[in-house]
Structure formats: structure tokens, C-alpha cells
Amino acid sequence: MKMSKRFEHIQLLESSLLNDTRGVSKKEIELLNKVIIVLQFISNSEYQQLYDSFKETDKESFMVELTEFLIKDERWSKITSKRQEEYEELRKIYNQRENRDFKAEEYMQLLESAISKQS
């Protein structure tokens, strides 16, 4: 199965945090972690729209620009924060009622399904 662009972006950011943080401030590391969390709670279709809008500029640095956009964008921060809270609540319910862990990937699949039905 082909890896989603959203997941590739997450891996790229995680890899840069793991491999090369020399000269990177604590604040910059916090901002990259914030973007990783935002990306974890954006659906693939939503990410694809963002990706396409930044890719249209046809700059080599579009991924950096998209990352910077997600650092500053309050709208996506609020949306993904709300989704993360909802996920945590569902995770507790699954843990209590079904005695199993509810993975973020499962939540995102449900979200993708709901978004595609609304379209």
C-alpha cells in the first residue's frame, strides 16, 4: 500500500527531529512537534487539498512553506485540537468498554469515512 503524503510529511518531520537537532532551538523543536500533532489529526483528503495548494506554487520549498503555514495557522490548530480531544475521549471509551486501545489511525479512518460521506 502506498504511503499517504500526510504520513510522509509526518515521517519527514519526525526524522529531522531524531537525526539533526544541532543548532535547532527548543522553541523550533516545540513548533515542529506541534505540526506533527496537527498532521496526525488532519484527514488525508484535507491534507491533499493543502498539499495541492502549496504544490501549485511549484517551488522546491513547498513542503517547508506548508510546515510553516501549519505552525502559524490557528484554524487548523483549533480543528485538530478538537479532534485530538474527541479521539482521547473515544480512546477512553474503547478502553473501558472493549478493553482495547483505540488507535489514532482508526480514528482517522472514521473521520475520512465521515468526510467522504459529506462530500
Higher pLDDT, 22 or 64: 64
Please report, for the chain, the start and end positions of each structural domain, with discontinuous segments joined by +: 5-118
- Closest by CA position to 30, among listed 11, 46, 17, 45: 17
Give CA–CA dist 62/19, Å, rounded: 22
Give CA–CA dist 12/17, Å, rounded: 9
pLDDT in tens, 68-116: 999 999 999 999 999 999 999 999 999 999 999 999 989 999 999 988 8
pTM, entire model: 0.83
pLDDT attached to residue 59: 65
